[in-house]
Chain A
Amino acid sequence: MRTAASSPLFGSDHWSRALESYAKATQLTIKMFDVDAAQILGPVHATPLFQLFEEKGYDPGIFMECAQRCLSQTTDVRPAVMVSEFCGLAVIGTSLVLDDQIVGAAVGGYVLVDFCQASEAQRLAQNSGIKFERLWRVTREQKPVPKQRLLLDGELLQVLGDAILKENSRTRQYGTALSQTEAQLRALTARLLTSQEEERRRLARELHDDVIQRVAALQNQVVRLRLGAEGSVDGRTDKELEVIENGLATMADDMRSLSHGLHPSILDDLGLEAGLKQLVDAFREQTSQSAQFKAQDIPNTIPQVNATTLYRIAQEALNNARKHAVNSSVVVTLSGSSTELRLMIEDDGPGFNSSHTARGLGLISMRERADLVGGRVIVTGRPGRGTQVEAIIPMCENL
């Protein structure tokens, strides 16, 4: 039997829930068929008569026959409800129509129709190999149904089926539109992150390669002036020059911080391992928290895009630890193989309730970054058990 999931129109919880309620209310067993008359859902709610036939391995063939008749109808007029009968045994069926196309059929049974002759029931018992008394007892238990009621049940099944199909189709269209929007949004985020990183790198380089060097040159010039003028200028002038010298030194430090904040050129100069170590050193010094960096099996060359991604994720995770895991110990571990890189940032702080933190912007940005290079970020933590942020990214070509 194929499952309902084989077709998106039938693969939803709506069907099983609605059919379950319908089958219980009408005391029918329901089966659904696709446009090729292959069964795709059911049996839903096995009635005593259905169970008895199943137990005996008997199939009078009227489910399938009814389904085929429903499917062979045309949709010029709304197709009628079909009844298939055999020896007083009946099923009702309806085609399922979406946008004027028959897309499947739903069939419900078995019941004995009211006023079924005892001779017919006996013939049924003979055909099925079931003792007449037993068959009769079961049909009494299930109660025979007047044909008019059966037709009403069929019409109800028709209305229900059409409504669910329409709903599923709408959900599917909505889902497609939604995933298109999501894909566009992700592409946009990726472009945004890449261009932001590029722009920051450019500014940082500009600062480092030009402005900081010029400030350094100025500071050196002032020193030269002071050393050259030693003894020939008054103390006050020398003091002024010293202030300028110290001011330039402070300015160089500030610009180094600014440049480093914009883009960690340490990644280009020394690589990811040194970059992460420096990040952990800075965290330890700024927070006075215990922090350790470990590296295991790091590949010799790590593509720049991977290095930047993991560095930014570590930066974000350490920011979180600084805010939410005050006084905790932090361990940052970088490990790798020829195919992937793993970065783990663990703290033994108060942890978090995952349902609350899942929406945090920091986490979204970490995931976006990992996603950009085909990786993923897993954040785990429970109240009182610390937090673990793990980023796994495949080794990719240098971008």
Chain B
Amino acid sequence: MLFILSYVPQVHSLSVEKQEILAALTLNIARFTRWPEQIMNSPDSTLNLCIFGDNIVQESFTKINNKTINNNVLQIISISRLRNLKRCQILYLSELERNKLTPLLEELKEHPILTVGENLAFIKAGGMIGLELVQGKIQLNINLPIVKQAKLTISSRLLNLAKIFDFTPPGTAPQE
């Protein structure tokens, strides 16, 4: 009996499952982002967060539904097809093959949609924010030119915590 108990993983509040962290981080990133005036002050005052991913990803975001972000309410929309994306203010893309990701992000640039993905390759494909697992912790990667192109602004408090990239795909390697 002691043998089994000694293997029960210690529960301390600083060790959490990856998908839960990514959802909580996305909520916080949204809090530090400003969209163009007409979106932030729109009559229905909702910010749509579209989630593209399997049922595990979609479920991890249900907990942040209806949370307030400044003057708006976060509305989670689970999508299983990459259509009708202009209604999203934030687009979370989990596990999309590179050959589909690059043309999609190309089509979305200059639209005021904050794109969030789960690794560094997401940045290289044209994404704005890549959340990557590095040595047991999530690292925040932000590609500023793409953010600016979409007329979005991210607060400096968040930028100071992130690894900033400065390039415009395709082709050229990222420079820090």
A, B: real partners: no
Chain A residues close to B by CB (< 8 Å): none
Chain B residues close to A by CB (< 8 Å): none
